[in-house]
Homo-oligomer: A and B are copies of this chain.
């Protein structure tokens, strides 16, 4: 447990720190790499505070002491997740906004990695593996996610379909039956139509898996909820990181199903993949 990323925690807590702790935080954040290599005395001097202050600072962030704190810091740096909340600004150039977007995406994935429950993944895979039919529903930006899921799951020799419009979804949900699994993908979990559709599907005996916000209205109507909290909506008014997290969850489900199918099934997947060879130019040998 403890912290997912101590640097982010420090950055987040900046406001709530008192004067000397703030000085310590500033020094650490200005050069975290250097902080991992310095002694408590050196760091205290750089921040112009006493050594116990640094020590107290460390304990405040749930570490055993300074050495343990440095260890956490080192790991946070190595994890590749940036600690500053680097939102895109109006005056950013391609130099600055490109890495920011990669980093925001990475941060969301790292967050989701911590939050996702393997037990719930297992239950979702249990349902999928037994399904007579799998249906993926998504609207708006989640429409392509549903399509992508269909593109993965057709390989399993189960009837699969994806729907990205409300009327079709409603009709299909009404026509569903026990043994059908409907996977509903929704970032907010608050789209009225999808909540209705989930309810409708449950009424027919179908299983509903939600890839959506936990504790949302939609989540309450699902058999299994793969909850991914919405990290704050810092995007430029378009869904960005959420759909990527959703796709990764789809990957996890597909992997889970593949593994349950056992090693023989890999040959089947390979055959599908190889079927594309004809459509391609060969790989060119390096010069």
Binding site for B on A (CB under 8 A): 36-37, 67-68, 70-71, 74-81, 88, 90, 92-95, 97-99, 101-103, 105-107, 109-110, 112-113, 116, 118-119, 121-122, 125, 140-141, 143-145, 147-148, 151-152, 155, 188, 190-193, 195, 215, 217, 236-238, 240, 243-244, 247-248, 251-252, 254-256, 258-259, 262-263, 266, 269-270, 272-273, 276, 279-284
Contact = CB atoms under 8 A, between A and B. Distances in A.
A255 B282 contact: no
A236 B269 contact: yes
Contact of A281 (B94, B190, B240, B259): B190
Contacts of A95: 118
**Consensus secondary structure, chain A interface:** helix
Contact of A102 (B88, B248, B280): B248
Given A105-B109, A144-B151, 13 more contacts: A74-B75, A97-B252, A97-B256, A98-B113, A98-B118, A101-B251, A102-B110, A102-B116, A102-B252, A140-B276, A141-B151, A215-B284, A236-B254
B237 A192 contact: no
Contacts of A112: 102
Contact of A256 (B94, B254, B258): B94
B68 A78 contact: no
A255 B280 contact: no
Contact of A71 (B70, B188, B243): B70
Given A94-B122, A106-B109, A238-B152, A101 B252 contact: yes
A191 B191 CA distance: 38
Q: How many copies does the complex hold?
A: 2
Contacts of A98: 113, 116, 118, 121, 252
Contact of A105 (B122, B248, B279): B248
Task: List the 5 shortest-distance A-B pairs measured between CB atoms, nearest first.
Answer: A75-B78, A237-B269, A102-B113, A94-B118, A144-B148
B97 A259 contact: yes
Contact of A280 (B105, B190, B279): B190
Given A106-B106, A251-B105, A280-B192, A238 B269 contact: yes
A81 B251 CA distance: 19
Interface centre among A88, A102, A280 (most CB of B within 10 A): A102
B243 A97 contact: no
Contacts of A251: 101, 105, 238, 240
22 contacts: A36-B71, A74-B78, A76-B78, A77-B78, A79-B80, A80-B107, A93-B122, A94-B121, A97-B252, A101-B255, A105-B248, A105-B251, A106-B109, A106-B113, A140-B151, A144-B144, A155-B238, A190-B283, A236-B258, A236-B269, A243-B247, A244-B248
